[in-house]
Amino acid sequence: IVLAGVVIITGCFSYYQEAKSSKIMESFKNLVPQQALVVRDGEKKSINAEEVVAGDLVEVKGGDRIPADLRIISAHGCKVDNSSLTGESEPQTRTPDFSNDNPLETRNIAFFSTNCVEGTARGIVINTGDRTVMCRIATFA
């Protein structure tokens, strides 16, 4: 009887954990941007964000959601909202200048699913999909 109780409790706990993980992953679908403006073969193209690949040159402007982890190569007054990633409430300036060894602290990287709140920037895609910082953090949740 004790063994049956332990099995039932373990099963209920496993179900709860699986349901919680499913809800978290479902919420991340809402963070994925729909479109991205990329420069390929010298032409600007609006493509589905899922089609962005490492090495693409991406342009973002105020109001855009970042489609992948980007290394910023040019920026004009660009600020991003990293609150979903770091909890930092103030928008963070993004520039091409390397400023810190910690990727979460440096100013030359913009992260997947964060928002560009003002200005413009161009960046080269360094991570997509499960390799982005946001997805790696979500995996540990």
In sequence order, the 6+-apart residues with CB closer than 8 A to the CB of 32 are: 49, 50, 65, 113
Give the type of residue at 49: A
pLDDT tops 90 at residue 88: no
pLDDT bucket at 44, cuts 50 / 70 / 90: very high
Whole-number pLDDT of residue 136: 81
Residues 23 and 92 occupy one common structural domain: no
Nearest Cα to Cα of residue 130 among 107, 112, 114:
112
How do residues 118-131 score in pLDDT, each as one tens digit?
A: 999 999 999 998 88
Give the domain range for residue 15.
1-30
Give the count of beta carbons closer than 10 Å to the beta carbon of residue 7: 10
Q: Distance between the two ends of the chain, CA-based, in angstroms?
A: 34
CATH of the domain at 91: 2.70.150.10
Range in 27-31, 56-60, 92-96, 127-131 the model is least confident about: 27-31
Higher-confidence residue: 25 or 129? Answer: 129
- Predicted TM-score (pTM) of this structure: 0.75
Residues 44 and 22 occupy one common structural domain: no
Residues 55 and 124 occupy one common structural domain: yes
Angle between helices 2-29 and 133-140 (to 10 degrees): 160
Residue 127: half-sphere exposure toward Cβ, Cα within 13 Å? 15
Go through 27-37 and write b for each residue having 16 or more CB atoms within 10 A of its CB, e for each that does not.
eeeeeebeebb
Residue-averaged pLDDT of the chain: 88
